[in-house]
Structure 1
C-alpha cells in the first residue's frame, strides 16, 4: 500500500525519448530521491549514471513490466512512452512546400465534409494516419499493460504508487490540422478544447486514465500536453533542436546562408514549445498538488514565439547570414550531397564518424514546417494553481545545442 510519509521514488517510462530524457535530467538535478529510467535499452545518460538507475522493459511484455515495477517500486510514474505507427518502416519525406500547398487547397472543401456521409471519417482518418496518430492499438496496449501491472501489484500489497503523470500532446485538439483542414480549430488551445475529428491513439491512451473512477483508484493522475518538445540527444527522431543544429552545420559547411526551411508563412506563425525539463517540472508539480489531479494541463515555455524572433539569433550563433525564401525549402534543394558535407564538417571538427540520420531527424523537420498557422496555448489555469515556471525559447534552444556539441553529436558552432 502507498506510504504517504516515505520519500518518493520516481520512475520515468519512455526515458530514451526527447521528453523522457528531459524528465530524467530534471529529476536527477532537482531531487536526491531515487530516480529510475525505463526504456527498451535500459541505457542511462553517462552524465547522470551516478544519480539514475536504468531499467529495461518491453511495455508489450507484461512480465517485464511487472519486473521493472517491482525493482523500482515507484511512488510516482511519469509516462512519456509512445510507439510511432511507422516505427521500423522506411520513411518517405514529402517536400514541405508541397505539403503546405496541399493544405491550402484543402481549406475550401473542409466545410463540405459534414454534408457527405462517411466523408469526414475517410478524410480525417487519412490525414491523422499521415500525422502518425493512427496505430493498430499498440499505444493503448502499452499503457494498458502498465496499469494492469500496477493494479496487480497493488492487489498483492506490493505497490507504493500515489500518482501517474501522463504525457500526450496538443495534437489531441487538432494542432496538426490547423484552420486549413479543420475550421473549428481552437485558438488558443485549452485543456478542455474539443478533440480533433477522426481517429487518434491519443484518445485511447488518455481514456485509460479518464475512465478510472476516482474513489476506486488508490492513486491520482494528471495529463500533460505540450506541442513541440525541446530536448536533445543522439538518435532522437522527433527533436527539432537536433534538426536545427544539423541544418545550420550543413548549410554553413556548404557555404550557404542559414536558409529558413519553412518559407514566409511559417516564419511569421506563432508556435508553442516546451523545454523537456520544464515538462518534467510541471509533472512533478502535478504529482505534489492535490488540486492538479484528475485533469489535463497544457504545458509550454511561456508566450508563443515566432521563428522571426529565433532565426537571426541562430544565424549569429553559427556566424552566418540568414534568409527566408518565399516558399518552403527541402534540404535537397540546397545541399546536393548532405552525407558528404556532414562527414566533412565532422572531420574538420575532429569528431568521429556519425551518420547524418543519427543527428538530424530530417523528416520531422520537414513535417514541422507544414505548420504555417498560429499554435498558442492557454497556460493560465496552471499559473492560477501555482505552476508559473517559464523559459526563454532562445535560451533553451541554445543550451540544448551546446549539450549536443559537448557530446559530439554536432560539430561546434
Structure 2
C-alpha cells in the first residue's frame, strides 16, 4: 500500500462518501474529524482541530499521508470572516502535512457558489448557465477563491499536484450536516405525513420553473478519487454534478410520492421551511417514540436555512460536465434515484419512519 489518504471532514456528507470510494478501491484511509461522531469501518479515525496546526501535526505524524481530501468548512457571519476562518483551516492542514507527510496530491471540495457568489451577495450577479470551469471569478469576496489561492501557492511551494471539485447541492447519507438537502427534505416529508399536511415547495419561482441539477455524494466520491489518480486531471478544477438536469416542478411530486403525501400546488412565491418548522422537534419526538427511531432531534438532522437558501435562489443554477467527460470521467447518476436511494437508506437506519 503506497497510497494513504487523509480525508478531512470524514464524517460529513462529502468526506464520508469519498472515504467509502477510497476503501472500495483499496486505499488506506485516515479520517480526520474534530471529535468522535460515528465510526466508519475500515477508516483509521484521528481527531484534531484544523483551526490549530499543531493539533493536525500531532494527528498525522507517522501516518504516511500521500493524498489529502479536504472536505470541511465552517460557516461564519460574513464572507470576510468565512475567508479568514476557512482559509486558515486549509492553511493549517497544508502546513501540518508539509511537516508530517510527503504529499503527492491534494483535493479541495468547494461548490457552485464559485459561480453564484457568497451568501451575502448570493446570485446578485451570477455567472451565466450552464456554469463552466473556464468562466472567470465573480467580483465578490468568496472563501472558495481564498482556499483555491492557498492551495495553488502551497502546491507550487511544496511540489504536489491538486484538483478542485465544485459540486452543486449534495444528496447522500450523512447526519448532522449543514448542507444536506436530501435529509432535510426527508425529515420535512415525514413531518408532513405525520401531520396530514401537503408537501409545500419552499423556494422561488425561478427554482420551481428553471433548470437545475444536484450532486449525488456517491458520485462526488468517485469523481474526487478519479481526479486524484488520473494524470490528465492534475492541476484542474472540475464541476461535479450528476449529469442530468430537471426542474423542481417535475421533481417535487416525485418526492411527495415517496412519502405517500400530496404535493401542494405551487403558490408562486417562496414559503421558507425555517419559519414553518419552528416546532419540528416536538413532532419529531412523537414520531421517534412511535416508530422507535434513532435518537435524533429534527434540528440535528435538518438544515432548514440551507435548503431555503438553495431553493430560494432567484436564478437558475446548473453546471456543465463536458470537461470531465473529455478527460475520461463518464460516470452518471439519475437524480430522482439519488433522493429515493437516500430515503431508503434513512428508513433502513431507522432515521425516518417507514411509509406503510
Q: 5 Å matches for 1:1-400?
A: 6-28=1-23, 30-45=24-39, 48-49=40-41, 51-86=42-77, 129=78, 134-135=81-82, 137-153=84-100, 159-174=101-116, 181-182=124-125, 185-212=127-154, 214=156, 217-262=158-203, 264-323=205-264, 324-331=266-273, 337-351=279-293, 353-400=295-342
Which residue in the other structure is 1:110 paired with?
none
The Cα offsets for residues 144-165 of structure 1, whole Å up to 9 and x where unpaired, read as 1122122223xxxxx3421111
Q: What is the rounded CA distance, in whole Å, between the counterparts of 1:315 and 1:138 in structure 2?
A: 39
Task: Report the alpha carbon displacement of residue 260 of structure 1 after superposing the two structures with TM.
Answer: 1.6
Alignment CA distance shift 1:379-1:134 (3 Å)? farther
Alignment CA distance shift 1:175-1:399 (3 Å)? farther
Q: CA RMSD in A?
A: 2.4
Question: Quick check: 2:117–2:142 contact (8 Å CA) kept in 1?
Answer: no
Task: Report the alpha carbon displacement of residue 344 of structure 1 after superposing the two structures with TM.
Answer: 2.4
Unaligned runs of 5+ in 2: none
Q: What is the rounded CA distance, in whole Å, between the counterparts of 2:174 and 2:275 in structure 1?
A: 27
Q: What is the rounded CA distance, in whole Å, between the counterparts of 2:177 and 2:147 in structure 1?
A: 22
Count of equivalent residues? 353
Task: Report the alpha carbon displacement of residue 264 of structure 1 after superposing the two structures with TM.
Answer: 4.0
Question: Quick check: 2:171–2:217 contact (8 Å CA) kept in 1?
Answer: yes
Give the TM-score normalised by the residue count of structure 1: 0.79
Question: Quick check: 1:382–1:388 contact (8 Å CA) kept in 2?
Answer: yes
Alignment CA distance shift 1:55-1:213 (3 Å)? closer
Alignment CA distance shift 1:331-1:180 (3 Å)? closer
Alignment CA distance shift 1:174-1:326 (3 Å)? closer
SS of corresponding position for 2:343: helix
Q: What is the rounded CA distance, in whole Å, between the counterparts of 2:80 and 2:170 in structure 1?
A: 17
SS of corresponding position for 1:141: helix
Structure with greater Cα Rg? 1
Q: What is the rounded CA distance, in whole Å, between the counterparts of 2:83 and 2:206 in structure 1?
A: 35
Question: Quick check: 1:10–1:36 contact (8 Å CA) kept in 2?
Answer: yes
Question: Quick check: 1:229–1:274 contact (8 Å CA) kept in 2?
Answer: yes
SS of corresponding position for 1:55: strand
The Cα offsets for residues 364-394 of structure 1, whole Å up to 9 and x where unpaired, read as 1222221242212121011001011110111
Q: What is the rounded CA distance, in whole Å, between the counterparts of 1:352 and 1:65 in structure 2?
A: 32
Q: What is the rounded CA distance, in whole Å, between the counterparts of 1:191 and 1:244 in structure 2?
A: 29
Q: What is the rounded CA distance, in whole Å, between the counterparts of 2:71 and 2:278 in structure 1?
A: 37
Which residue in the other structure is 1:105 paired with?
none
